[in-house]
Every structure is written in structure tokens, then in C-alpha cells.
Amino acid sequence: MARPKRTPSVPLFSATNYRWLGGSVALLAFAYGGMWVEKEFTGVFSLYVAPVLLILGYAGTAYALIKRPGGDDAVV
């Protein structure tokens, strides 16, 4: 009995997706780390800088996960 031929699989993520994901995770780590270093919930970093960085980090992560691999840079 012959085995069925396998078709080449298309990678789920491209290198661009991994770069976006890595940068976003680094941004999230920086924001949470900055809040941990400051140790004040009423500090300038915790109230004004970290929320913006966290929103950008989570948005970048979402973009990296839904972006299609390929040259057309189309989003799903």
C-alpha cells in the first residue's frame, strides 16, 4: 500500500511575525519591570508611562499573532 504524498506545509508565522512578537514582549517586560522597580502605585512611571507602554505592547502582540506571513503584509 502506497503512502499518500504530503504537501509542503506553509509556516504559520514568518520572521517578521517573530520580530513583532519579540519586540512586543520586550516592551511589556520593560513596562512591568519599570513598575516593579518604582514600587509606588502613585509614581509617574506607574501612572503615566507604563499604561501607554502596556497598551502598545499588547497591541503589538495582537498584530504579530494575526498578521499573515508573506510579502503582501496583509492582516487576516
Q: How far, in Å, CA of 26 to CA of 57, rounded?
A: 8
Q: Is residue 37 classed as helix, strand or coil in its secondary structure?
A: helix
pLDDT of residue 11: 79
Question: For the chain, which ranges sit under pLDDT 50?
Answer: none
Q: How far, in Å, CA of 49 to CA of 35, rounded?
A: 9
Domain segments of the chain: what residues?
19-66
For 3-33, b where at least 16 C-beta lie within 10 A, e where not — what string? eeeeeeeeeeeeeebeebbeebeebbeebee
